[in-house]
């Protein structure tokens, strides 16, 4: 009697937007599916900056992977970090993510790699511990701790210059994440905390948004960039364009303007939101396939998302460039959640078709559903199929879209309630310092000098608002 034929084995690496959509799309296939991720949760990354500013709790935007796939009995979740591919033997090497566990090897008939991306520090990896990013949940919690510790330190500090440095927040990069982060810090400083601190005046602090280009939100239409800049200034954010970051130290940052003039800004809190690089999985996959990666570390895949020479391997998300189905030229698609989700669903359709012996769905086609960025309360911009929205309509659109894409009914309800509470009370309920933020320490604080000092002054609109409220007198250009 012949031995029963084993079921096909599908391995999916990465539990982000692309990988999770691929797994969920395989709910009806007759195959054994293994999902590998170094974390045990799926993170709704577009809202991680709200964790970093105390607007949401970690559990509001993250859900355990096992809970997501609990009804897919043929799906197994492996918590580990992939450290190698053998494409000839069709094996994936997995290093243990937990102490005391053993490494393992997963065999596959079809492989999906969706490693995502991380922030690039442009050759200055020594800045990582000083300028934290908010792309991961762990780093978002670190940023939250560092921001809140800065306000606590300002409350204790007696020296005016030192207090000013604690109340200066610098965000590097004016893309959607940088704009959203700067707006949230400004609301925290100028709207939430003034009623709670007694000695320090957070309204006299500064939130600086630094960008090398000539406008914020460079991927948006220029008209929306201008409206976003105005909204940021209304919130009290100082937008510093055509400024290049030269150095980051524990007690400040050095900037250089377009004319070559340099200036020093004392600060203890720097948030990084500039530039991305592909996950290291792209390099591992390229090495295994004998392929090359581009300057951002991305590997090139065919129009149907398969790896050249290895049709049983698909690569998705921010770590790939996709060949155009007509010209064959590699194209880097926007690093947005909808792109990754659509790629994950396409990969699932392709795998299901192959396992069922049906015709392939063909080339992947990205359907652009528009871009959105929020700035603050009732402030946002949106470009949806050429229709430009700003202010309250764009903000409501942003709210609805993000609630829709959150995974889990419970998360949707909790986030909606938190946002409603915050909107009504101007409060933030998750401002807890529970982790070691690792705030850099410095012996002294220098004064602002050089070409950047003029742009460092607090915006006039915020000063007028503060003066009318009687909470502060207009500060001078630089720390008092």
List active site positions.
180
Q: What is the side-by-side order of every strand in the sheet holding 371-376?
A: 371-376, 379-384, 387-390
Q: Bridge-partner residues for 390, per DSSP?
A: 381
Distance of CA 16 to the CA centre of its chain: 12
Q: Which of 246, 353, 338 is nearest to 8 (CA)?
A: 353
SS3 content of the chain, % helix, strand, coil (to 5): 35, 25, 40
Q: Say if residue 434 is exposed, middle or buried (CB neighbours under 10 Å; 0-12, 13-18, 19+).
A: exposed
Query: Residue 177 in contact with residue 140, Cβ under 8 Å?
Result: no
Q: Phi/psi of residue 208, each to 5°? A: -110, 125
Between CA 442 and CA 446 the distance in angstroms is 10
Pairing of strands 306-307, 310-315: antiparallel
Sign of CA dihedral 319, 325, 331, 337: negative
For 450-473, b where at least 16 C-beta lie within 10 A, e where not — what string? bbbbebbbbbeebbebbeeeeebe
Which token pair is 343? 């790629």
Is there a contact between 419 and 399 (Cβ–Cβ < 8 Å)? yes
């Amino acid at each position: 009697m012949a031995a029963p034929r084993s079921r096909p084995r599908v391995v999916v690496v990465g539990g982000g937007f692309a990988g999770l959509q691929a797994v969920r799309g395989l709910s009806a296939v007759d195959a054994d599916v293994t999902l590998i991720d170094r974390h045990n949760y799926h993170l709704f990354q577009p809202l991680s900056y709200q964790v970093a500013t105390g607007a949401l709790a970690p559990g509001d935007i993250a859900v355990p992977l096992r809970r997501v796939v609990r009804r897919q009995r043929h799906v197994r979740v492996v918590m580990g970090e992939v450290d190698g591919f053998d494409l000839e033997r069709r094996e994936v090497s997995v290093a243990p993510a937990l102490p005391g566990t053993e490494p393992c090897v997963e065999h596959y008939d079809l492989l999906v790699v969706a490693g995502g991306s991380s922030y690039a520090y442009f050759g200055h990896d020594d800045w990582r511990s000083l300028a934290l990013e908010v792309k991961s949940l762990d780093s978002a919690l670190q940023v939250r701790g560092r921001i809140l510790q800065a306000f606590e330190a300002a409350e204790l500090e007696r020296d005016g210059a030192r207090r000013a440095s604690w109340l200066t927040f610098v965000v590097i990069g004016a893309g959607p994440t940088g704009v959203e982060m700067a707006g949230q810090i400004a609301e925290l400083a100028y709207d939430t905390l003034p009623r709670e601190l007694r000695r320090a005046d957070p309204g006299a602090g500064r939130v600086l948004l630094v960008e090398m280009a000539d406008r914020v939100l460079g991927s948006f239409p220029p008209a929306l960039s201008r409206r976003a800049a105005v909204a940021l200034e209304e919130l009290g954010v100082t937008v510093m364009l055509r400024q290049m970051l030269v150095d980051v130290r524990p007690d400040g940052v050095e900037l250089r303007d377009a004319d070559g003039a340099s200036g020093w800004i004392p600060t203890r809190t720097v948030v990084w939101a500039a530039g991305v690089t592909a996950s290291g999985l792209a390099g591992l996959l390229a090495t295994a396939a004998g392929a090359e990666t581009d300057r951002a570390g991305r590997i090139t895949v065919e129009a149907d998302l398969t790896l050249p020479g290895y049709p049983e391997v698909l690569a998705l998300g921010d770590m790939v460039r996709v060949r155009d189905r007509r010209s064959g030229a590699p194209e880097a698609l926007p690093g947005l959640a909808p792109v990754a989700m659509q790629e994950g669903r396409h990969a699932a359709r392709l795998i299901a078709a192959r396992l069922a012996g049906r015709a392939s769905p063909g080339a992947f086609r990205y359907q652009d559903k528009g871009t959105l960025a929020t700035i603050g309360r009732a402030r946002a911009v949106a470009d949806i199929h050429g229709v430009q929205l700003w202010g309250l309509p764009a903000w409501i659109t942003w709210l609805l879209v993000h609630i829709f894409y959150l995974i889990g009914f419970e998360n949707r309800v909790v986030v909606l309630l938190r946002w409603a509470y915050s909107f009504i009370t101007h409060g933030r309920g998750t401002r807890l310092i529970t982790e070691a933020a690792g705030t850099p320490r410095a012996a002294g604080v220098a004064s602002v000098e050089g070409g950047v000092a003029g742009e460092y002054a607090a915006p006039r609109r915020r000063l007028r608002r503060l003066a009318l409220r009687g909470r502060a007198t207009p500060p001078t250009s630089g720390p008092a």
